[in-house]
Amino acid sequence: MRLLSLAALGLVLATTAGAAELRPLKAHSLDLGPVRGSAYYTVEKDGLRVVATLAPTDATAATPLRVITTLASDQVVSFSVPGTLEGPAASVAFARHGDRVEVASTGY
């Protein structure tokens, strides 16, 4: 499972439009084209808790979506927005490496 997680992160980083290190309690902007938002993490006793809040950019947008996950060492979580016929999907991945959380995005 760990090898699969690292391979998935490698794929995201290889095709990345942007990669950065998150800082505890510091918001990081996310841009997935038709969906935008921010993410941050907190240090908890059972891992690093990543919180991402996303909302459609369309003026007739629905309620924002919040994704929360707690990452143990060497875990990766990702989510994506489907592409259109004219364009690719966009995705964002959060990977924990020791006491660091990296975020990488593809697409837009």
What are 9-39's pLDDT values in tens digits?
444 444 445 679 999 999 999 998 888 999 9
At residue 63, the pLDDT reads 85
Count of positions (residues) in the chain: 108
Total tally of structural domains belonging to the chain: 1
Q: Does pLDDT of 8 surpass 80?
A: no
At residue 5, the pLDDT reads 41
- Which stretches within the chain are classed as H helix? 2-14
**Run of H or E including 105:** strand 100-106
At residue 4, the pLDDT reads 40
The pTM (predicted TM-score) of the whole model is 0.76
At residue 6, the pLDDT reads 38
Domain that holds residue 15: 2-106
Close Cβ partners of 106 (under 8 Å, ≥ 6 residues apart) = 12, 15, 16, 17, 88, 89, 90, 91, 92
Q: Over the stretch 40-76, which tens digit does the pLDDT of each residue have?
A: 999 999 999 999 999 988 866 678 889 999 999 999 9
The closest of 40, 33, 37 to 53, measured between CA atoms, is: 37
